[in-house]
Structure 1
Amino acid sequence: MKNNNAVIQTEEQKILRCGIYARFSDQKQGKDKYGQLKEHDSVDNQIELCKKHISLRNDTDDKQRWVLTEIYAEKGKPGSNLDRPEYERLVRDIEAGKINCIVIYKLDRLTRSISDFYKFINDYLKYKDISLVSITQDFSTATAAGRMMMNIILTFAEYERELITERTKTGMNRMIEEGQFRGGRVPLGYDQNGKKLVINEDERPIVELLFDKYIELKSAKKVADFLNKQNLKNKDRTFKRDNVENVLNNPYYIGKARHDGKIVNWNPSCQIINESVFNLCQEIFNDNTKPELRRSAASRGILSDLLFYNDSEKQMGYNKENNTNYYVHTYIKDNKKKRIRINSELIEKHLAEELKNLFKDNLAFEKVLVDARKQQNKEIQELRNQKQGILNKKIGVENKLQKLSKNDPDLADLIRKYEQEIAKYGLESSNFDELIALKEQEKATDNDLRDTLRIFYEMYDELSFIDKEKLLGYIIDEIRLYPQENSKDSLVRIKIRPIDSVNRQRLNSTGLDTRVDWFPDKESNLD
């Protein structure tokens, strides 16, 4: 037998630069009927067995020298697709010529998809002189018999995967039909009783308060802060924004569940929240999470729509360099692309202080809140119009019903249909009444507005990125930065939207001029 540590390469020997690929989806798939982990399925055990196989082949193969070059350990990744980091690294190493032999425990460790395996064979095994060895399945891709054997094995592997998927769907359908809890952490407001959830009456008021507060505050983070200040608990934990969002989006609270991408009937006895309230919260949540509203400082600044450099007609850009955010002005000079940048923190802080000072003693923010009230009135009117449309349909069906004789057996089905439509329109009308009532409750009184205005300037620093961006858009037309030549300071000209006579008296014809003791970076080339 040969000594592994002193293998002498002869002219006839071919060197196999081996890469071991091991994959394991999750712990559940590797348990036996007693719930114990099957050791042979673990990634570590696959690697160890593959190492032993390489060592054995190296001792017995006179024509080839087997050299372990790399190990690819894939944990928690399914074999149904190729979106796996270690698999991608394996492919890169094949293309780079780092390895020319792949050693695996079983073929389905590489992939469970026939189409993916065919692609792998055609892309790498056929034309790049790459060998594939499965240590528990005796075949080689170098022979027609080996390729046929692999196809058969892969066929059964894919069949098994599809069978598992089908059984899972069947099981989920049955659980939905029977109103069973599908597992995981028991949601706030419920206890688990056997296979089903039952309402926890002590937690029900917390759930109801959470939904009501979200309609009022329209912010999951603010709702979480409010609940924590009230010393209320999410089961045994404090509330976080994610907890609030999970509750808001969980259809269990209206006795329904998500299944196959849809919300379906589930367990009416678990309903805590009126469906119209739930739907209103969904509308608010969806509005808050629209892509254009989820822009953050990672891709733009709060002044991105407002800040201009000198007399440029284009807003300054925004980027991040060396963990510092900058507003950037790019331009062409001497046929070269150049830029001037300014630290975003400097100008954003300066603007915040100027606005706080400007609005501290005035009701400049009233414009914002008045606009909000107009929007609320518009939304309420739209709801009333929709409700009236429903009532008109209801009246139309009632008129048709009055013309029918209830004693005519031939009309029984039609009468029943009309009665069901009338009941449906009546329920929809009631839902609109609830929505309108909720919108009316949101409207603030004049005293509420003035009290809010007096303290609003103090809350600026606590606002979210999106709220700051919206607020500044209401108040400011534009901001222009004018670096002063032969000076180390700059002029920041803030053009305020005309709001009231007091502010117009304070502002000159072009805006609020302020000076700062900082200067943008010197221009630099981008080419």
Structure 2
Amino acid sequence: MKTVRCAIYTRKSSEEGLEQDFNSLDAQREACAAYILSQAGEGWTQLAERYDDGGISGGTLERAGLKRLLEDVANGRVDIIVVYKVDRLTRSLLDFAKLVEAFDGASVSFVSVTQAFNTTTSMGRLTLNMLLSFAQFEREVTAERIRDKIAASKAKGMWMGGIPPLGYRPDGRTLAIVPEHAAIVTHIFRRYLVIGNVRLLAESLKREGVLAPARSTATGKHIGGRPFTRGQLYLMLGCRTYLGEIRHHDTVHPGLHRPIIDTGLWEQVQAKLAHNRQGQRSGRRASSPSLLAGLVRCADGVPLVPDHATKGKVRYRYYASRKDGDDNIAPLRLPARELENAVTERLAAALEDPLSLAAEAGLGLDGHDLNRLIAAGGQAAGAARARDRSIMLDLIEFVEVDTGRISICCSGSAISSILGLAPQHSGPVTLISDVRLTRSGRALRFIDDSGARASAEIDASLVRLLARAHRWWRILRSEAVDIKTLALREKVTASWMTRVLRLAFLSPDVTEALLSGRQGGGLDTVSLLSAAAIDGDWKKQAQKFCPEVMAGNL
């Protein structure tokens, strides 16, 4: 008689009672073993391997025992799977379809001890699907009841589990204050009001030796014992539990526990957080987010905050000194995109040469790290050029703008982490971008050593003037019309049209530079249309308007 190898699978959704000598899994296994014994005349034999999953829902296939069973099925070690009930195997119709496909592929069938049906017939499969539908329905209804119970309990101010915020410990269905931890929380809130910057707050706490207290969760996981990160501090400063409240999704309820932070201190902290978030909206809401918000300062150490002006439908972004700053320091208003482009390009250039960057940071290297180092540097450089704000926040400690250069102070430990090197103690690294500030009319611009703008930026007003000049020149050449008549038709003065028409005779190199945004830093519509602005010598035009073109041709 052919031997039929039978594997018993058992599962229980909760961990309740599993510590007993004879638990639910043992009861299921005993019933299945008795059924296999009753089929001994058919050659059924029980495999010694145990496939048990205790405390795991039937709504997922991520179960250790089930995975071992499926592996043995795939390797041909099992002929029949025996379960106490079908819902022990799964409570999801979708997952059941996947399991049946795996069983059919290995020519394996399964048997439910308490539910008699034959899956080889269409009626048997319909019966099985109906049973599983009710099992899935029961699971979903149970989940809804649990969610409703949690919502109702939180509405009464109860603590419904999870890791409590620092300063509290679970106390039944409420929270009790841990005095020594609560003192740290209060200190963090008060220090933030003084410092006003979460990154600087984290650095200050680290210098003071204030660490996140070591704690153990209910599952035995150890947390804390390390310096506070910016993410932890942001969560703490926005945690309404410290006000004596309980949050449930977007709703806040009065809690049964005592507050650690008083309302006055809380409101001051929230006001400062909201003020510092100006210009830091996510890219999904802001078409041009301020990439360096919170990182820029002038040579005098005065922070430059995001600002903007709107003309028509166009929004112009800046980094400007605060209006309530020192009266003895001249106010600054820097073009945001030019500054961001200069910083990202310098940062990307440094990351593309990771060996030099690691050496400058004093990081130890292993010869085997070379390929991985170059790959990590290239990936980080691409993220910088893609204006990934996360890499800016990780790498940059501050950006200092002087009249003759931009200094970018980078964290040595962040460089080590981004390049994939082992954690090492390293001081900050300063990268220098040799761009300088110059005034163009009433605006400040960044230019490089050649006198060209530090980053290509197309001036829409200049492009419109060029387009007008060439259009008008085509009309004058093709139609029997003079400048005065054409000016009346276009509703402009003849003198202004004459000045614009001269732009049609710019050299091709200068025209291309204007269209690509590579014109000189001091060039604008006023200077371009001034009297005697256009020289008939194309070389002199390039020297005056586009020094970068001349530098490239030398």
Normalising by the residue count of structure 1, what TM-score does the alignment of the two structures yield? 0.45
Normalising by the residue count of structure 2, what TM-score does the alignment of the two structures yield? 0.43
Q: Which has the higher contact order (CA 8 A, sep 6+)?
A: 1
